[in-house]
């Protein structure tokens, strides 16, 4: 009948006449209930037991021999309450305790694929739309690379690749590598969205290209004194030089191509590639600006549908053709070069000489219109010029040192060429007919 203390007793036997109670513990160490974080106090069941149950990610293990219950996290690691992305806040698991990563499926066509591997407890993400891992952005954290050089160097270490440059201005003198191409992520010419400012060193061998970029510098875009064999292609670009060359590669022997690209700036001689004899291809482009720096070409050249806006010299054993183009400054042909010009216009408002021809090789003009007020040397020098369907829109004086051969009609302006044509292909009856102020030279076959 002791009611002063709160003891815990257990009924271990009873019958119709009596019961036996055993005292379970002392007066101060008895737990009558367990209380969790929520839900209130929990007392024992009819067997005087409180059950501790596990759940998602939690295992409970009782050991009667040691009177202990062990609570452990299941799954081999720390339980994750939430996952937080770059935006949108923390995300808890669903009712099944799972986090779902949604990639390129259903309404989430985001180009990502997530692959889970239960055995290694890993989740792998893959970009299904990735065309290169070498992407440059001027803002830190937007891509892995904030400089073009860092991406170019990484691409070279990986064996080559294309470096995509996002819009911005990058002031860098680049060291370039074989099999590493550089392109803007968006087309540039409309507004110089992606500009690289600097003078760059090409690799000595291999191939590389620039595309969709604005390339600017005070002196030279590409500069090297070595006799490189690399094929260099600039396509869909703008180059801007204050005083120098787009290609300062005097000893180069590899192919240089300038396609659908345009020179701006002040004085750009465009290409100093004469000594090495590099082959040259230009299509649909503007070549050079001004008269300060002389373009020098020494290999096999093809210039098609271009505007040549600087003085140009074909040197050494240069050969090739200028077709469907326009020249605005004097064309020089030197040494042993031999050239053909067809379907082309020369027009100069500053009375410049059209052609200074001192080469031992021939220059052939076919369907060419020449418009300049130069007097007395529209064509000067000591070489041989073969005329086939040539129109002199203004002055038509030809220096006496030029050997003139005709294979077609020659239409002259007010100051005519006079006599002196020879006939290399058995043409005869070279006749001048005066019509007003013009002189038409008619060449008739037998």
Is residue 212 in some structural domain? yes
pLDDT in tens, 158-182: 999 999 999 999 999 999 999 999 9
Check whether residue 389 and residue 256 sit in a common domain. Answer: yes
Q: Cα–Cα distance between 150 and 152 in angstroms, integer? A: 6
Check whether residue 116 and residue 182 sit in a common domain. Answer: no
pLDDT tier for residue 112 given thresholds of 50, 70 and 90 = confident
CATH number at residue 236: 2.160.20
> Across residues 428-437, what is the average pLDDT?
39
Q: Cα–Cα distance between 67 and 55 in angstroms, integer? A: 22
Check whether residue 220 and residue 324 sit in a common domain. Answer: yes
Measured from the Cβ of residue 223, the count of other Cβ atoms closer than 10 Å reads 19
Check whether residue 147 and residue 112 sit in a common domain. Answer: no
Please indicate, yes or no, whether the overall pTM of this predicted structure exceeds 0.75: no
Is residue 440 in some structural domain? yes
pLDDT in tens, 384-402: 999 988 999 888 888 989 9
pLDDT in tens, 115-141: 888 888 788 888 877 788 899 999 998
pLDDT in tens, 355-392: 999 999 999 999 999 999 888 889 999 999 999 889 99
Is residue 36 in some structural domain? no
Q: Are 237 and 257 in contact (CB under 8 A)?
A: no
Last residue of a domain, which of 82, 104, 127?
Answer: 127
Check whether residue 104 and residue 210 sit in a common domain. Answer: no
**pLDDT score of 29:** 52
Q: Are 60 and 69 in contact (CB under 8 A)?
A: yes
Check whether residue 110 and residue 243 sit in a common domain. Answer: no
Residues whose CB falls within 8 Å of the CB of residue 339, separated by 6 or more in sequence, listed in order = 301, 314, 318, 319, 320, 321, 322, 333, 361, 363, 364
Is residue 34 in some structural domain? no
Q: Is the pLDDT of residue 444 over 80?
A: no
- Total domains in the chain come to 2
Domain of residue 97, residue span: 93-127
The contacts found for 362-369 with CB under 8 angstroms, 24 or more apart, are 362/338, 362/386, 363/333, 363/338, 363/339, 364/339, 364/340, 364/388, 365/341, 365/390, 366/340, 366/341, 366/342, 366/390, 366/408, 367/342, 367/343, 368/341, 368/342, 368/343, 368/344, 369/344, 369/345, 369/393
Check whether residue 115 and residue 204 sit in a common domain. Answer: no
Residues 307, 313, 318, 319, CA torsion sign? positive
Last residue of a domain, which of 127, 146, 181?
Answer: 127
Is residue 20 in some structural domain? no
The most confident of the ranges 34-43, 53-62, 253-262 is 253-262
């Amino acid at each position: 009948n002791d009611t002063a203390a709160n003891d815990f007793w257990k009924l271990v036997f009873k019958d119709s006449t009596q019961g036996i109670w055993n005292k379970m513990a002392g007066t101060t160490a008895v737990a009558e209930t367990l209380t969790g974080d929520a839900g209130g106090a929990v007392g024992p069941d009819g067997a005087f037991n409180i059950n501790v149950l596990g759940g998602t990610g939690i295992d409970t293990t009782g050991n009667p021999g040691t009177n202990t219950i062990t609570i452990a996290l299941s799954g081999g690691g720390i339980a994750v309450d939430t996952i937080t992305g770059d935006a949108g806040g923390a995300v808890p698991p669903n009712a099944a305790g799972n986090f779902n990563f949604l990639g390129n499926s259903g309404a989430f066509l985001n180009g990502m694929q997530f692959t889970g591997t239960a055995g290694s407890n890993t989740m792998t993400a893959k970009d299904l739309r990735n065309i290169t891992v070498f992407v440059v952005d001027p803002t830190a954290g937007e891509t892995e690379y904030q400089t073009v050089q860092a991406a170019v160097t990484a691409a070279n270490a990986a064996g080559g690749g294309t470096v995509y440059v996002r819009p911005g201005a990058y002031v860098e003198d680049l060291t370039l590598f074989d099999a590493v191409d550089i392109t803007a992520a968006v087309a540039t010419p409309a507004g110089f969205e992606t500009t690289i400012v600097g003078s760059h060193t090409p690799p000595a061998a291999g191939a590389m290209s620039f595309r969709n970029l604005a390339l600017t510098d005070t002196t030279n875009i590409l500069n090297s004194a070595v006799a490189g064999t690399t094929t260099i292609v600039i396509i869909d670009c703008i180059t801007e030089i204050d005083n120098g060359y787009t290609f300062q590669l005097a000893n180069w022997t590899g192919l240089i191509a300038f396609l659908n690209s345009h020179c701006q700036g002040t004085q750009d001689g465009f290409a100093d590639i004469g000594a090495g004899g590099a082959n040259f291809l230009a299509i649909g482009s503007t070549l050079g600006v001004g008269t300060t720096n002389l373009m020098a070409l020494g290999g096999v050249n093809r210039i098609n549908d271009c505007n040549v806006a600087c003085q140009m010299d074909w040197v050494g054993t240069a050969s090739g053709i200028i077709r469907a183009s326009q020249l605005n400054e004097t064309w020089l042909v030197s040494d042993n070069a031999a050239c053909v010009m067809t379907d082309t216009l020369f027009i100069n408002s500053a009375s410049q000489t059209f052609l200074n021809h001192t080469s031992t090789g021939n220059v052939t003009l076919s369907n060419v219109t020449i418009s300049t007020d130069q007097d007395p040397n529209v064509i000067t020098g000591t070489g041989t010029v073969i005329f086939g369907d040539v129109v002199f829109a203004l002055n038509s004086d030809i220096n006496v040192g030029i050997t003139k051969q005709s294979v077609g009609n020659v239409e002259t302006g007010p100051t005519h060429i006079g006599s002196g044509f020879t006939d290399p292909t058995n043409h005869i009856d070279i006749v001048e007919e005066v019509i007003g102020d013009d002189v038409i030279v008619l060449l008739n076959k037998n």
